[in-house]
C-alpha cells in the first residue's frame, strides 16, 4: 500500500520558531506579504536569510 500524505521535501524543516511582535510590525509584514504575493512566513524567512 502506498504512503498517504504530502511528499517529503529535500530541505525538511523540523524546527519551529515562535516570536512576538508589536501590532505595527505585524501589520507592516502582512502589508509587504500581500503586496508581493507572499506568505508571512516567506517574508520572515527572506528577512532571516539576509541576517
Give the model's confidence band at 1: pLDDT under 50 very low, under 70 low, under 90 confident, else very high. confident
* CA pair distance 30, 37, nearest whole angstrom: 10
- Chain segment 2-51, per-residue pLDDT in tens: 778 878 888 888 899 999 999 999 999 999 999 999 999 999 999 999 98
Q: What pLDDT is attached to residue 3? A: 78
Helices (H) and strands (E) in the chain, counts: 2, 0
Can you say how many angstroms the Cα of residue 31 is from the centroid of all Cα atoms in its chain? 14
Q: Of 13, 10, 5, nearest to 44 (Cα)?
A: 13
Give the domain ranges of the chain.
Answer: 20-51
Backbone angles phi, psi at 49, to 5 degrees: -65, -30
pTM of the model: 0.74
Q: Of 12, 5, 15, 21, nearest to 29 (Cα)?
A: 21
Amino acid at each position: 500500500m502506498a504512503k498517504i500524505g504530502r511528499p517529503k521535501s529535500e530541505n525538511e524543516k523540523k524546527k519551529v520558531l515562535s516570536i512576538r511582535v508589536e501590532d505595527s510590525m505585524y501589520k507592516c509584514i502582512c502589508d509587504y506579504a500581500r503586496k508581493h504575493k507572499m506568505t508571512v512566513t516567506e517574508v520572515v524567512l527572506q528577512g532571516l536569510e539576509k541576517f
